[in-house]
Amino acid sequence: MPNIYDSAYELEKAIRESEEFKNLKTAYETVMNDPTAKQMFENFRDTQMELQEKQMQGLEITEEEVEKARTIVEAVQEHQDIAKLMEEEQRLNLVINDISRIITKPLEELYGNPEETN
């Protein structure tokens, strides 16, 4: 019987070697090697984190903060390299979500799917 952790490390290796991860890595490096793009991307990430933290703490997000975030998101989406990075990130996230669904299937079968109404 294979060790469950060995299987997990095999899966990690498969993700690293996947086309999706390689494309993401290339897109990430492209952005990080361009000082302007890197700064824009980091501003975007910081703003995202700040708003998520406020939301989790139940703090109100001001109209000003919403507007600032919108401006940053628009700028980021217009930057070709950052848009490509975000696109590749989304592709890999879909793969990881699919994998997560597959590996949690035994639990779902045991407890039932909470989204299904009986």
Of the candidate ranges 1-5, 67-71, 104-108, the one whose mean pLDDT is the lowest: 1-5
d(CA 16, CA 5): 17
Which tens digit of pLDDT belongs to each residue from 26-76? 999 999 999 999 999 999 999 999 999 999 999 988 999 999 999 999 999
2 versus 72: the higher-pLDDT residue is 72
Class of the CATH-defined domain 4-111:
mainly alpha
The model's confidence at residue 112, banded by pLDDT at 50, 70 and 90, is confident
- pTM assigned to the model: 0.80
**Phi and psi angles of residue 116, each rounded to the nearest 5 degrees, phi first:** -80, 135
pLDDT tens sequence across 75-87: 998 999 999 999 9
Residue 116 zone, left/alpha/beta (φ > 0; ψ -120 to 50; rest)? beta
- The two tokens of residue 62 are 């001001």
Question: Using CB atoms within 10 A of its CB, is residue 41 exposed (0-12), middle (13-18) or buried (19+)?
Answer: buried
Is the confidence at residue 20, as pLDDT, over 50? yes
